[in-house]
């Protein structure tokens, strides 16, 4: 389910300066860098200095050089049989699992949703009307029926109060709201949009009790112009699709997960919750009014408090277990926020998120049982992640071979002579000096690879490519819950060009 959301840009879908296509921008050996991959990775990942550059052409060129560096490392990784490395394969497998589950959603949920023209037109009718409503709520049906009897006998709904009608504790006096298509719960929406002006509904059940609703006024939203009409239709389609997919997803999960059985070691779960709530209280002056966020520091508090229990199985599947550590790592990735948590609220939120990731595990395994890891969509999406991780892992291998001499450290002190924080922290100084040396070694290594590889850069195609300057970080929201980065980052790497021999690059 490819739904994207930008956290730096104020739109829900990525906006490109031009349509995506497979026009080649560069060839690195047998690898082609297309405008599609370039635009995806350029526009969906941050480039914080882009707006400071005088020339956007220079920005594009630096980004392409960094992509070429990545592909050179990919070719070298293939020669080293990196795919036999277990750690690299684990990195790849972690991403593939997310994409397999997302593909299962696409095939079993989103592709099976159908929307008729009649539904679209009804949605447009509702979208163009905002309804001012008054409503009464009663927890019990008998109370709601009594209220409706008063209304049928001529008393206006808006006149009701607890004192005038009943002292029953389940009754609430009249309240008001504005019903808008897409913002109101669908069952409530279906009732209010079926009423005429000043008409009152019969009692109907919703969530926790019975409601009676009266339409008090209407606001008509006038839409004119082809662009506005198109946007209106797209909004209606989005609302209807979201609702239908939610229903389809719930039905699919109920069917596929009904026979699954998972056990939780409750004694360990209680220890975790005790530690997390204590951690929350110690880090917040008013613990019940400040939200709790499960992060690395909270997990470390659990690790310290639980000792050897931290490695014990917490979640017991039929064919495998999750330890406390594994479970908390998954919870951190999934994200757990408990607003204004009492101990009880924290327990409820924690257990709900735990159920979510357990369900996701079963759905992922179902995707593998259906061989969705071999589907065209997953294989296409995995290609770019495989390349990025291969280059990343090769960088780490090279970095592990770099050591610092005393001369390196002395030169580093001179380089950071105006940085008192770095000079005052020997460990930080060593880390920064090593990073500089590693980067230099990488540039030399990539430059050497470039001299041994057939490189072609299509300058004309690159020049014609239109891009934006705004930095963005875009996430892909996955089917059945969760999210991941839309595309892998491109690590800036342009210094290798200084080691390139003249004539090594073809410019058609």
Q: What is the pLDDT of residues 66-102, one digit of tens each?
A: 999 999 999 999 888 887 888 889 999 999 999 999 9
Query: Is the domain of 418 the same as that of 318?
Result: no
In a domain, residue 122? The reply is: no
Residues 177 and 289 in one domain: no
Residues 300 and 270 in one domain: yes
Dihedral (CA of 50, 51, 52, 55) sign? positive
Task: State how many domains the chain has.
Answer: 4
DSSP characters over 161-192:
-HHHH---TTEEEEEEEEE-TTTS-HHHHHHH
- Residues 12 and 72 occupy one common structural domain: yes
The number of angstroms, rounded, from the C-alpha of 478 to the middle of its chain's C-alpha atoms is: 7
CA distances from 445 to 71, 400, 452, 498, 500 (A): 13, 14, 11, 12, 11
- Residue 305 confidence (pLDDT): 96
Element (H, E) at 337: strand 337-338
Residues 389 and 496 in one domain: yes
Where would I find the H helices in 8-108?
35-43, 56-79, 86-108
Binned average pLDDT, 10 residues per bin, the chain of 508 residues:
40 48 92 94 82 78 95 92 84 94 96 96 95 92 91 89 51 80 93 94 92 94 89 95 96 94 96 95 76 92 96 95 96 89 93 96 97 96 94 90 91 88 89 92 94 94 89 89 92 92 80
Burial of 262 by CB count in 10 Å (0-12 exposed, 13-18 middle, 19+ buried)? middle
Q: Which domain holds residue 246?
A: 110-115+227-257
Same domain, 390 and 414: yes
Domain end marker among 316, 334, 369: 369
User: Is 278 inside any structural domain?
Assistant: yes
Place of tokens 């500089």: 436
Q: Is residue 405 part of a domain?
A: yes
> Would 121 be classed as within a structural domain?
no
Is 123 among the domain residues? no
Per-residue pLDDT, 6: 36
pLDDT in the model for residue 159:
85
Q: What is the CATH number of the domain that holds 9?
A: 1.10.4030
CATH number at residue 211: 3.10.50.40
Backbone phi, psi, residue 128, to 5°: -85, 0
Same domain, 334 and 243: no
Residue 303 within a domain: yes
What's the confidence (pLDDT) of residue 423? 86
For residue 338, give the nearest of 330, 323, 348 by alpha carbon. 348
Give the global pTM. Answer: 0.84
Tell me the C-alpha to C-alpha distance, in Å, between residue 344 and each of 273, 301, 340, 348, 357: 10, 20, 11, 6, 20
Token couple for 41? 């990775």
Q: How many CB atoms lie within 10 A of CB 69?
A: 28
| Among candidate residues 264, 298, 269, 272, the one with its CA nearest the CA of residue 284 | 298
Domain boundary among 335, 369, 403: 369
Looking at the fold, whether 240 and 214 belong to one and the same domain comes out as: no
Q: What are phi and psi of 226, to 5 degrees?
A: -60, -40
Out of 321, 347, 369, a domain closes at: 369
Do residue 276 and residue 184 come from a single domain? Answer: no
| pLDDT, position 98 | 95
33, part of any domain: yes
Residue 298 · residue 276 · CB < 8 Å: yes
- Token pair recorded at residue 124: 């447009």
């Amino acid at each position: 389910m490819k739904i994207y959301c930008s956290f730096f840009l104020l739109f829900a879908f990525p906006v490109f300066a031009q349509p995506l296509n497979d026009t080649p921008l560069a060839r690195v050996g047998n690898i082609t860098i297309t405008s599609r991959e370039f635009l995806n990775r350029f526009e969906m990942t941050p480039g914080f200095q882009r707006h400071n550059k005088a020339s956007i052409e220079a920005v594009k060129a630096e980004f392409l050089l960094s992509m070429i560096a990545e592909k050179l490392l990919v070719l070298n990784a293939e020669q080293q049989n990196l795919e036999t490395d277990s750690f690299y394969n684990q990195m790849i497998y972690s991403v593939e699992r997310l994409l397999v589950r997302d593909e299962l959603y696409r095939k079993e949920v989103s592709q099976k949703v159908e929307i008729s023209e009649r539904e679209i037109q009804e949605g447009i009718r509702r979208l163009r009307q905002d309804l001012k409503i008054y409503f009464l709520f009663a927890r019990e049906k008998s109370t709601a029926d009594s209220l409706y009897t008063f209304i049928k006998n001529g008393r206006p709904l808006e006149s009701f109060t607890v004192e005038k009608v009943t002292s029953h504790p389940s009754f609430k006096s009249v309240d008001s709201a504005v019903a808008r298509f897409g913002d109101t719960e669908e069952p409530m929406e279906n009732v209010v949009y079926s009423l005429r002006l000043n008409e009152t509904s019969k009692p109907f059940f919703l969530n926790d009790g019975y409601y009676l609703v009266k339409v008090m006024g209407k606001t008509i939203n006038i839409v004119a112009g082809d662009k506005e009409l198109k946007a209106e239709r797209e909004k209606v389609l989005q609302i209807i699709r979201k609702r239908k997919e939610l229903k389809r997803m719930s039905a699919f999960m109920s069917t596929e997960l009904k026979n699954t059985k998972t056990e939780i070691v409750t004694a360990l779960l209680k220890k975790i919750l005790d530690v997390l709530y204590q951690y929350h209280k110690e880090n917040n002056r008013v613990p019940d009014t400040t939200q709790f966020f499960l992060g690395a520091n909270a997990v470390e508090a659990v690790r310290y408090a639980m000792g050897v229990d931290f490695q014990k199985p917490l979640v017991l599947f039929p064919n495998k277990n999750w330890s406390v550590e594994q479970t908390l790592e998954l919870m951190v990735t999934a994200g757990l926020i408990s607003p204004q948590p009492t101990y009880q609220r924290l327990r409820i939120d924690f257990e709900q998120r735990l159920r979510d990731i357990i369900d996701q595990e079963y759905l992922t395994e179902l995707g593998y049982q259906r061989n969705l890891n071999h589907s065209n969509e997953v294989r296409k999406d995995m290609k770019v992640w495989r390349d990025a991780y291969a280059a990343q892992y090769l960088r780490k291998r090279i970095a592990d071979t770099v050591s610092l001499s005393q001369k390196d450290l002395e030169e580093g002190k001179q380089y950071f002579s105006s940085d008192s924080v770095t000079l005052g922290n020997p460990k930080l100084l060593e880390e920064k000096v090593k990073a500089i040396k590693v980067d230099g070694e990488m540039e030399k290594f990539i430059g050497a690879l470039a001299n041994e590889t057939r490189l072609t850069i299509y300058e004309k195609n690159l020049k014609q490519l239109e891009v934006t300057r705004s930095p963005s970080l875009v996430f892909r929201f996955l089917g059945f819950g969760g999210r991941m980065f839309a595309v892998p980052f491109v690590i800036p790497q342009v210094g290798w060009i200084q080691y390139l021999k003249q004539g090594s690059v073809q410019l058609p």
